Amino acid sequence: MMKFKRIIASALCGAVIAMSAAVPVLAKTFPDVEGDASVSWAKASINNMTDKGYIKGYDDGNFKPQQAITKVEALLLMSRIMGVDEADYEMSVDWAVENYEKTVTAINSQYPNELCYLMYLNALDLNDLRNYASSANANTSLLRWQAAYLMVKLTGRDADAQDLEIVDKSAYSDFDKIPEEAQKYVMYAKNSNIMNGMGKDENGKDYFSPDTTLTRAQMAVLLDRMIGTLGRTATLGTVSSVDYETGAIEIATQDGRTEGCEIERGTVIKFDGRDAKIDDIEKGDEIMVTFTNDAPRLIEAIAGQTVETVYGVIGQLGESGGRQQIIIRDPESDDKGTTYDVSPSCVFNIKGARGTFKDLKVGNNVEAVLTGGTVTTVTVNEKDTSVSGVFENLQGDSSSDSYIVLYDEKADKTTNYRLSTGNISVKRNGAIANLRDLNKGDNVTLTMTNGRVTEVSAKSDTAEHVGTIKEIILSDKPEITIEIDGKNQTYYMSTGTKVTVNNVDGTIYDLRPGNSASIVTDGSTLSSIESSATASYGKTSVSGKVQSVNNTLKVISVQGAGGATDTVYYDSSTTFLKSNGKSASSKDIVAGSNVSATGADTTGYFVATIIIID
């Protein structure tokens, strides 16, 4: 992580970097290239690739352009054009080795950095590693169809190639000679101008020659073309916003610019070097995005400095030591406020429009985002604002530091809103209420004055349902899952939930899985539940295979030979035996066990007196 931070803090940070070789050298020529007219078509690419350090000559000073390139050599070259030897990807290679070294070295221990890096990029999978880098295959010649396959994977378009519908097999006269598993890759390479055919056959038709080996001269040309096609660049900075719905990320660079990208199919996302999703990336994280074909190929992020949001009014504006400063105070406190440095790249949102530090005024109601204690965003709001969301819970244990937590469905995140220390007006379903009357799932609108909640308006969705109890979870916040119209719905129980069992007042402990239930819901909370025991129709015995066991509720679900499921309860007087006659206990019953239970249903439930475990 520290290494990544050093890269971000370097002189390269904040720039869009055109990636090139780690160590360019002086232009070099090779006698067997200069003197061989048959490879004149490849001369420029050979010189270009060797000048950039991607491909090298031999100790005798020759390039050997007609020599076949091996599979493992091709992999090494692929890793180089994607930056394996470049300082900017030192951290990426370290992460790659950390995650893939055991897998790679079990197959090829000679080139761990290069092969791990290609796996990190999703340019190689385990099958590719075996087929191209194992001791049996690494030093065999690379065929043209294999080159097409690898180049497409290198661009990150593997899934697109697999989805390609081939409508014209006459594109190459020898199309049927291409291995079936590679046909879509070859056609995708042709359509994308990554790799073309070998020219015209004797009938004047294009042909691909899939089983022809690729020479070093041909590979140099292919790589040269690939570098131009990839157009690899990178952007480094700090995440300023993430849209989890569209996959769009905005990056604030240290020179004050904003760069953006939008996740595409084939984009590899890593967080701390491990596979991740866009949901793992948050505002304030440090990020490096590698682009190929003007699309994000690799996104690498690490947790940035602590990000927090403060609300209040501006008490004072000024400058100290060349840094702009802002004092933000709590309007409900006599405290003079806290002084914060303002980042040079701070974004100022002044009542819906972009502004500058000079547009701020003492007394403005502000929402300030702090990154590592420094103000990176200031939003000036009206004195009175409102926000809506779904109620999650209340947090805090003091009137001066309590919050209401709302969930924003569109942004898929929760936000804490600080409560006023004064009287807060609360209405629920149009009636006067208290904060403790709010239920998880309520649709809530908050009115805030100077950044503190002063009014709460909540509305719940009240409904009635009939279903079957499927699961009961006993905890500080009990939950009951009920099957309604074939779908399982989970609801919370509060201290005010009214429970009735067989027309008698009861508690959650009187409810049983398998029983029918009529419920009234208030958002995601049960207002009431009326349950009826499922009669066992005079059964005195049940046998079959155990489907589930709940030792807290002392209930077993047993499926009989005919497929029907019975619910068996036990209590402190139930005797447990093994089939060999030895004593047992309820803990010996597990899903998959065969049991035979003898009992009665005088209470409306089948309660076992003896349970024999086979």
Q: What is the DSSP letter of 534?
A: P
User: What pLDDT is stored for residue 5 in this prediction?
Assistant: 40
Per the CB < 8 A criterion, the answer to whether 399 and 330 are in contact is no
- List, for residues 226-280, the tens digit of each pLDDT value: 888 888 999 988 888 899 889 999 998 866 688 889 999 889 999 999 999 999 9
Per-residue pLDDT of 60-107, as tens digits, reads: 889 999 999 999 999 999 999 999 999 889 999 999 999 999 999 999
Chain centre distance of CA 50: 39
Rounded to whole angstroms, what are the CA distances from 320 to 317, 341, 406? 10, 9, 38
How many CB atoms are located within 10 Å of the residue 390 CB? 17
Choose among 233, 190, 212: nearest CA to 83. Answer: 233
- Amino acid 400: pLDDT: 58
Mutual orientation of helices 71-81 and 144-154 as an angle, nearest 10°?
30
The yes-or-no verdict on residue 116 having pLDDT over 90 is yes
| Alpha carbons 98 and 586: distance in angstroms, whole number | 46
**Model's pTM, two decimal places?**
0.53
Fill in the amino acid letter for 18. A
Average pLDDT, rounded, for the chain? 86
Nearest to 314 by CA among 363, 368, 380, 377: 363
4 has pLDDT over 80 = no
Greatest mean pLDDT range, 72-81, 192-201, 595-604:
72-81
pLDDT of residue 535: 52
What ranges do the domains of the chain cover?
A: 2-230, 233-302, 307-381, 384-457, 462-532, 541-613
The second-level CATH assignment, the architecture, of 462-532 is Beta Barrel (2.40)
The b-or-e profile of 394-411 (16+ CB within 10 A means b, else e) is: eeeeeeeebebbbbeeee
| Predicted local confidence at residue 14, as pLDDT | 35
Q: Mind listing the pLDDT tens digit for each residue in 380-406?
A: 988 888 899 999 888 876 555 788 999
Q: What is the CA radius of gyration of the chain?
A: 34
462-532 and 541-613 agree in CATH topology: yes
Residue type, 609: T
pLDDT of residue 614: 86
User: For position 15, what pLDDT does the model report?
Assistant: 37
Residue pLDDT, tens place only, 398-435: 555 788 999 988 877 888 888 988 889 999 888 898 89
d(CA 406, CA 388): 8
User: Cα(363)–Cα(454) distance, rounded to whole angstroms?
Assistant: 19
Q: Which CATH number fits domain 541-613: 2.60.120.10, 3.40.50.800, 3.40.50.300, 2.40.50.320?
A: 2.40.50.320
472 DSSP 8-state letter: E
| Structure-block tokens of residue 393 | 């819970």
- DSSP string covering 196-237: ---EE-TTS-EE--TTSBPBHHHHHHHHHHHHHHH--EEEEE
What superfamily does domain 233-302 belong to in CATH? Answer: Copper binding periplasmic protein CusF (2.40.50.320)
Q: Is the pLDDT of residue 565 over 90?
A: no
Which string of DSSP letters, residue by residue, matches 264-308? -TT-EEEETTEE--GGG--TT-EEEEEEETTEEEEEEEE--S-EE
Average pLDDT over residues 523-538: 76
Question: Using alpha carbons only, what angle is made at residue 314 by residues 310 and 316, rounded to the nearest 5 degrees?
Answer: 125
Per residue in 8-48, pLDDT tens? 433 333 334 343 333 344 446 789 998 888 989 999 999 88
Q: Indicate the residue type of 319.
A: E
CATH topology for 307-381 is OB fold (Dihydrolipoamide Acetyltransferase, E2P) (2.40.50)
Residue 11 is predicted with a pLDDT of 31
CB distance 330 to 337 below 8 Å = yes
Q: How do residues 325-359 score in pLDDT, each as one tens digit?
A: 999 998 888 888 999 999 888 899 988 788 999 99
- H, E, C per residue of 546-568: EEEEECCCCEEEEECCCCCEEEE
CB distance 578 to 584 below 8 Å: yes
pLDDT in tens, 145-166: 999 999 999 999 999 999 999 8
Percent above pLDDT 70 for the chain: 93
Phi, psi of 15 (to 5 degrees): -110, 155
Enumerate residues 6+ apart whose C-beta is below 8 A from 168. none
CA 439, 442, 447 angle in degrees (round to 5)? 110
Beta-strand relationship, 374-381 and 338-350: parallel
